[in-house]
């Protein structure tokens, strides 16, 4: 990798690391920060006294970059070079370069607050300003004071305001690796298109027809839009190809892409073939795709935001920031001069886009993070005064404290309780970790573990409603469980139990249109949660999956009791005259149950009087998603 820009700066960077506890490295995306710094440190024997940890805000980046580094060093992934992401650890005793998500490093620091297993910690992609990286920045500031002589911290970023971070770390040195970027011509649309998908489609086809060779990278919003655009592109390209001289392959790129699909994005295309990559913002800075000459920027990103005053999440398609627009454009100039097609007028860029992206800490629920910080026992600090690079609003900190108090994780003085400590050890959101601790009391831990595992798998698990699946199911006389009138949590439990009855038969999953990879993951997550619970309980627990065909009434009753405790913040009451609900929070909201629920109205057309919900999310309107009757 001698030609990567960072290699020319190896001496300078290593000298700075030698002389300073903290160094900030700023370099263009693709300059080699993620893949090379860890190897340089290994070469200089920093791995003698501990491993090098490299954090990534995204799971897919941790996997992909570690794979690359293992390849470059000629070792097996999971051996000397490995990765650890939530519920998946591919490292060994011999691992000296470890890529891990920022959340996993936070969790490791619970078990070992000094993080002595590492000689160097690289916080990579700090510009993404993920919630966990922001918390790590604060923790590193404390840690370097305690491990003065044997810890080095590197903070790397593509765009970060280096000065700000340097000030945060007592004016530590900032090294900039100049990018080898070719000029990129920016072309604006005259107006915002009515449909950005159609507009991306048209622009991509125009480029494919008119422009010389070079790959096209399209920045779409989220997975749904990506899939729509990919299928439209495939149709059009297929119909064009007969007469054209150049082929094209269409590749989706997003965070939940299966590994075999990710590999395709990094392999070179066949000769005379143009790749059209349709990506989320993951290709802005996290993953570098080589060979891109044309960028199409929709100008939007899909973003999850939390409103602490209502407890509501929204998943909105929002305009990107100027920093993001510039990153996107930059992707076109890595190989040779390129072009960036912005599907919005220049006035939108100058007048409407924010300068920088709002950090995640200022748009997330902080309950999980505050519980984490409480469990660290940082005696000398008050959470409300934790040293954040950009502090969250007092309102969202108060919201987090209220939520934790309601589920018994902290007491009236704000001190962490023993329940709270157990909860913090579980890699789950507070509502689920509280459900597990309570389920243990009610003798339904096995069932609660299944529900928690089903809800934690980030893939869509519920059967596709495709005609084919329905037909197959009818032919096979299969009948998927329906939650027995209790709702979605119970259905999730029943689906897993049914699969268990078949001895985890893969064909059963396929026949029922369930995702094989997703369900295998659930099985693994369940096992891991089980092990953690056993460790906490310091002894065996009753976690056997039931061998009976259906859960007994009593099991479900107990499980719903445990869920009520875990979800004490997330309850809703049906309104008298129709099937709308009102949330029972500090600020009640009028909401509907999401149509995807298995809950059905009774003979009188009524839904249950009371439900608990996993998520309150506003899409076109406010919805309760994944609900369970508690009547
Ligand atoms: P940075 O962190 O500065 O953005 P990286 O170290 O991620 O840069 O990337 C450096 C180079 O390594 C890029 O050309 C990129 O395409 C390549 N690369 C990174 N990961 C992989 C991978 N999994 N497979 C193939 N190439 C990769």
DSSP code string of 546-594: P-SSS--HHHHHHHHHHHHHHTTTSEEEE-SSSS-EEE-SSS--EEEE-
Phi then psi dihedrals of residue 64, to 5 deg:
-65, -45
Mutation pick for ligand 1 pocket among 34, 125, 261, 283 (CB with most ligand atoms within 8 Å): 34
Q: Which atom of ligand 1 is nearest to the CA of 285?
A: 4
37 C-alpha to ligand 1 centroid (Å): 12
**What's the confidence (pLDDT) of residue 437?**
94
Exposure string of 81-120, with b = 16+ CB inside 10 Å and e = fewer, is: bbbbbbbbbbbeeebbbbbbbbbbbbbbbeeeeebeebbb
Q: Edge-to-edge, what's the strand order for the sheet holding 22-27?
A: 88-90, 81-85, 97-101, 51-56, 118-123, 152-157, 22-27, 174-177
Q: Is 127 in the pocket of ligand 1 (CB under 6 A)?
A: no
Q: Which atom of ligand 1 is nearest to the CA of 28?
A: 3
Q: Is 266 in the pocket of ligand 1 (CB under 6 A)?
A: yes
Q: Is 4 in the pocket of ligand 1 (CB under 6 A)?
A: yes
30 C-alpha to ligand 1 centroid (Å): 6
329 C-alpha to ligand 1 centroid (Å): 18
181 C-alpha to ligand 1 centroid (Å): 15
Q: Is 290 in the pocket of ligand 1 (CB under 6 A)?
A: yes
35 C-alpha to ligand 1 centroid (Å): 6
Q: Which atom of ligand 1 is nearest to the CA of 36?
A: 6
Does residue 277 contact residue 265 with C-beta atoms inside 8 Å?
yes
524 token code pair? 């693994």
Residue nearest to atom 20 of ligand 1 (CA): 65
Residue nearest to atom 14 of ligand 1 (CA): 30
Residue nearest to atom 7 of ligand 1 (CA): 34
Rounded distance between C-alpha atoms, residue 329 and residue 297, angstroms: 8
Mutation pick for ligand 1 pocket among 26, 32, 267 (CB with most ligand atoms within 8 Å): 32
29 C-alpha to ligand 1 centroid (Å): 9
Mutation pick for ligand 1 pocket among 10, 28, 68 (CB with most ligand atoms within 8 Å): 68
458 C-alpha to ligand 1 centroid (Å): 25
Closest alpha carbon to 165 in 178, 155, 151: 155
Mutation pick for ligand 1 pocket among 35, 57, 180 (CB with most ligand atoms within 8 Å): 35
First CA to last CA distance, the chain: 63
Residue nearest to atom 19 of ligand 1 (CA): 65
Please, what is the Cα angle at 249 between 243 and 252, to 5 degrees? Answer: 145
Q: Which atom of ligand 1 is nearest to the CA of 156?
A: 2
Mutation pick for ligand 1 pocket among 4, 29, 30 (CB with most ligand atoms within 8 Å): 30
**What's the confidence (pLDDT) of residue 549?**
42
Closest alpha carbon to 289 in 68, 471, 109: 68
Rounded distance between C-alpha atoms, residue 21 and residue 147, angstroms: 9
Phi then psi dihedrals of residue 65, to 5 deg:
-70, -40
Rounded distance between C-alpha atoms, residue 442 and residue 465, angstroms: 35
**What's the confidence (pLDDT) of residue 258?**
79
Q: Is 39 in the pocket of ligand 1 (CB under 6 A)?
A: no
ipTM: 0.94
57 C-alpha to ligand 1 centroid (Å): 16
Q: Which atom of ligand 1 is nearest to the CA of 35?
A: 6
Closest alpha carbon to 25 in 180, 182, 172, 181: 172
Q: Is 31 in the pocket of ligand 1 (CB under 6 A)?
A: yes
Residue nearest to atom 25 of ligand 1 (CA): 266
33 token code pair? 């920060």
Q: Is 327 in the pocket of ligand 1 (CB under 6 A)?
A: no
The DSSP result for 76-97, as a single string, is -BTTTEEEEETTEEE--TT--E
Q: Mean pLDDT in each 10-residue stretch from start to end of the chain (631 residues)?
A: 85 97 92 95 96 95 94 96 95 97 95 94 93 94 90 90 88 89 94 94 95 96 93 89 74 86 83 93 88 96 88 88 94 92 97 92 93 80 79 91 95 92 93 94 92 80 52 62 87 91 92 88 93 81 56 83 94 87 87 90 89 89 92 85
Q: Is 288 in the pocket of ligand 1 (CB under 6 A)?
A: yes
191 C-alpha to ligand 1 centroid (Å): 35
Residue 212 CB neighbours (<10 A)? 9
157 C-alpha to ligand 1 centroid (Å): 14
**What's the confidence (pLDDT) of residue 376?**
86
203 C-alpha to ligand 1 centroid (Å): 27
Residue nearest to atom 26 of ligand 1 (CA): 266
Rounded distance between C-alpha atoms, residue 371 and residue 360, angstroms: 17
Tokens 């928690």, residue?
Answer: 452
Q: Which atom of ligand 1 is nearest to the CA of 124?
A: 2
Closest alpha carbon to 52 in 32, 76, 35, 28: 35
Name the pTM for this structure.
Answer: 0.89
**What's the confidence (pLDDT) of residue 225?**
93
Residue nearest to atom 22 of ligand 1 (CA): 68
Within 13 A of 571's CA, how many CA atoms are on the CB side? 19
Mutation pick for ligand 1 pocket among 57, 253, 288 (CB with most ligand atoms within 8 Å): 288
31 C-alpha to ligand 1 centroid (Å): 8
């Amino acid at each position: 990798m001698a030609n990567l820009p960072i290699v020319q700066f190896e001496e300078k960077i290593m000298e700075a690391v030698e002389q300073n506890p903290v160094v900030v490295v700023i370099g263009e995306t693709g300059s080699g920060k993620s893949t090379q710094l860890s190897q340089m440190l290994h070469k200089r024997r920093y791995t003698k006294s501990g491993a090098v940890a490299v954090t990534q805000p995204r799971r897919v980046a941790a996997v992909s970059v570690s794979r690359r580094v293992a390849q470059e060093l000629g070792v097996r992934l999971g051996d000397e070079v490995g990765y650890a992401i939530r519920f998946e650890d591919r490292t060994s005793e011999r691992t000296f370069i470890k890529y891990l998500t920022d959340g996993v490093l936070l969790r490791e620091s619970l078990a070992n607050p000094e993080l002595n297993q590492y000689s160097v910690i690289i916080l990579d992609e700090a510009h993404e300003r993920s919630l966990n990286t922001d918390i790590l920045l604060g923790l590193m500031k404390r840690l370097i004071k305690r491990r003065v002589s044997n810890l080095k911290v590197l903070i790397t970023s593509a765009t970060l305001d280096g000065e700000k971070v340097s000030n945060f770390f007592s004016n530590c040195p900032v090294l900039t690796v100049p990018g080898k970027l070719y000029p990129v011509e920016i072309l604006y649309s005259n107006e915002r298109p009515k449909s950005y998908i159609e507009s991306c489609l048209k622009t991509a086809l125009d480029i494919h027809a008119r422009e010389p060779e070079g790959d096209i990278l399209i920045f779409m919003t989220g997975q749904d839009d990506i899939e729509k655009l990919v299928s439209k592109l495939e149709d059009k390209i297929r119909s064009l190809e007969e007469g054209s001289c150049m082929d094209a392959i269409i590749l989706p790129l997003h965070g939940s892409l299966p590994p075999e699909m990710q590999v395709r994005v990094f392999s070179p295309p066949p000769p005379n073939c143009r790749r059209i990559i349709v990506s989320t913002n993951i290709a802005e800075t996290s993953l570098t795709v080589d060979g891109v000459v044309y960028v199409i920027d929709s100008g939007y990103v899909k973003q999850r935001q939390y409103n602490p005053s209502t407890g509501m999440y929204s998943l909105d398609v929002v305009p990107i920031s100027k920093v993001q627009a510039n990153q996107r454009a930059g992707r076109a100039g890595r190989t040779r001069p390129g072009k960036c097609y912005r599907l919005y007028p220049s006035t939108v860029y100058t007048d409407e886009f924010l300068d920088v992206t709002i950090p995640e800490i200022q748009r997330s629920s902080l309950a999980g993070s505050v519980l984490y910080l409480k469990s660290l026992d940082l005696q000398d600090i008050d959470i409300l005064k934790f040293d954040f690079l950009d502090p969250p609003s007092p309102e969202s900190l108060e919201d987090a404290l209220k939520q934790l108090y309601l589920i018994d994780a902290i007491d009236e003085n704000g001190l962490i309780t023993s329940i709270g400590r157990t909860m913090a050890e579980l890699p789950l959101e507070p509502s689920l970790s509280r459900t597990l601790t309570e389920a243990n009391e009610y003798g339904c831990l096995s069932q609660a573990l299944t529900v928690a595992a089903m809800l934690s798998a980030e893939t869509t698990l519920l059967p596709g409603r495709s005609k084919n699946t329905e037909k197959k199911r009818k032919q096979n006389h299969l009948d998927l469980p329906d939650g027995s009138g209790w709702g979605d949590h119970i259905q999730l439990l029943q689906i897993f139990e049914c699969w268990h009855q078949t001895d985890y038969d893969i064909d059963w999953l396929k026949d029922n249109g369930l995702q094989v990879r997703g369900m295998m993951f659930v099985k693994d997550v369940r096992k891991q949660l089980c092990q953690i619970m056993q460790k906490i309980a310091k002894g065996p627990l009753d976690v056997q999956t039931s061998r009976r065909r259906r859960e007994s009434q009593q099991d479900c009753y107990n499980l719903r009791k445990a869920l009520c405790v875990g979800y004490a913040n997330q309850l809703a009451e049906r309104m008298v005259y129709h099937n709308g609900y009102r949330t029972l929070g500090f600020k009640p909201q009028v909401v509907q149950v999401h149509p995807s629920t298995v809950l059905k109205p009774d003979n009188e057309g009524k839904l249950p009087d009371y439900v608990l919900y996993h998520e309150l999310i506003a899409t076109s309107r406010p919805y309760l998603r994944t609900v369970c009757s508690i009547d």
